[in-house]
A = this chain, B = another copy of it.
């Protein structure tokens, strides 16, 4: 019973069908095919605003390309000290930006606040001896499985804009956040000041494509070159486009995210009182008791230890396709 991560889950049937349907030869390669041509319009309809969609192969590529479009090599990105871009992408942001620095800001429950940012950067000067922040990268849902409310996100977006920064949203679990909030996707993206959204599909029932959704049209032309240059522009681009379209059509992305969130909520209820963070998406962080990790593993549950060695903290992730029986079994074991 897998609760390690949602990152190797099965693609959902709609995605798989779309890939198969995209198989016939296309008249033009890269993004010149008929499937790719539909991306901008369909995502634009979903978000309620014109946008450009650039498919890429991984979330790391999505994030790093977005940041490279926003900050110069001598610039900096402000992000949470636990942000995936800092912790788990092997320095991809530094690679793609040409060596920009990530300025790390702590924050409770995985969230940043305007005052937290200001405190962390209080001593940062504007002279040429220091790299200058040019972008804020937020994560929604956060690394702690929590979610920014639309107004909290918009406040951060305003804070960034007031400083002249761009805003990037790492939405590896964006769908789970929307599902949790019940808002429109635009409410926690462009309406909150987001310039570029890494709209994660892979963890949510996609296969091998993520969507870079660009709301700032002036950033698009450069991004196209950077994407090609990064080896992120496959000649059979229709297979990526097909996956993305399948996800956003008929609310498939929401359906999948709701399923995952529901499973997590079930676990959260069972572990009430010993949750490390509020459960607002599909990740559940639990303070286990001594011996409990071993016991749960012996019962067939796989999950990651979290926090410091010996802390008995654990992370359980529910995927869109985690069998309800597995969730129920884990809830019972935790309860």
Q: Which chain B residues border A62 with CB–CB below 8 Å? A: 231
Residue among A19, A25, A89, A222 with most chain B CB within 10 A? A25
Q: A128-B224, A227-B128 are in contact. Are A99 and B89 (CB under 8 A)?
A: no
- Give min CB distance, A11 to chain B, whole Å: 6
The docked-state distance in angstroms from the alpha carbon of A319 to that of B26 is 12
**B10 and A132 contacting across the interface, CB-CB below 8 Å:** no
Q: How far is the CA of A33 from the CA of B226 in the complex (A)?
A: 31
9 contacts between A and B (CB under 8 A): A8-B238, A56-B231, A58-B231, A64-B231, A73-B98, A90-B131, A91-B100, A95-B98, A231-B232
Q: Do A100 and B94 touch across chains, with their CB atoms under 8 A apart? A: yes
- CB pair B74–A208 under 8 Å, yes or no, is no
CB neighbours (8 Å) of A10 from chain B are: 23-25
CB distance from A95 to the nearest CB of B (A): 5
Question: CB within 8 Å of B: which of A205-231?
Answer: 207-208, 222, 224-231
Number of copies: 4
Tell me how far the C-beta of A131 lies from the nearest C-beta in chain B, rounded to whole angstroms. 4
A129 interfacial by beta-carbon distance below 8 Å = yes
Complex contact B94–A94 (CB within 8 A): yes
Encoded as 1 (CB less than 8 Å from any B CB) or 0, chain A from 248 to 277 comes to 000000000000000000000000000000
Contact across chains for A91 and B64 when beta carbons are under 8 A apart: no
Asked if A20 is at the interface of the complex by the 8 Å CB criterion, the answer is: yes
A107 at the interface (CB under 8 A from B): no
Could you tell me the distance in whole angstroms from the C-beta of A65 to the nearest C-beta in chain B?
A: 8
Q: List, in ascending order, chain B residues with CB within 8 A of A33's CB.
A: 8
Report if A312 contacts B (CB, 8 A).
no
Q: Closest CB of chain B to A29's CB: distance in Å?
A: 4
Note all chain B residues with C-beta closer than 8 A to A162.
Answer: none
Q: A29-B8, A57-B234 are in contact. Are A226 and B23 (CB under 8 A)?
A: no
With known contacts A128-B90, A129-B89, A235-B7, A308–B123 Cβ distance under 8 A: yes
Asked if residues B228 and A230 are in contact (CB atoms below 8 Å), the reply is no
Select one of B16, B76, B130, B235 contacting A58, CB under 8 A: B235
Closest to A63 in B: B231
Interface mask (A57-87 → B, CB under 8 Å = 1, otherwise 0): 1111110110000001110100000000001
Count A-side interface residues using an 8 Å CB cutoff: 80
**Partner pick for A91 among B4, B60, B95, B131, CB 8 A cutoff:** B131
| A74:B229 contact, CB within 8 angstroms | yes
Chain B residues contacting A37 (CB-CB under 8 Å) are none
Alpha-carbon separation in the docked complex, A172 to B131 (Å): 21
Tell me the minimal C-beta distance from A35 to chain B in angstroms. Answer: 11
Q: A8-B29, A91-B100 are in contact. Are A231 and B230 (CB under 8 A)?
A: yes
CB neighbours (8 Å) of A161 from chain B are none
B225 touches A128 (CB 8 A): yes
| A113 contacts partner chain B, Cβ-Cβ < 8 Å | no
Bound-state Cα–Cα, A36 to B319, Å: 22
The chain B residue sitting closest to A31, CB to CB, is: B128
Taking the closest CB of chain B, its distance from the CB of A245, in whole angstroms, is 16
Q: Identify which of A24, A90, A233, A302 gathers the most chain B CB atoms within 10 Å of its CB.
A: A90
A74 CA to B68 CA, complexed, in Å: 12
A97, closest chain B residue (CB) = B99
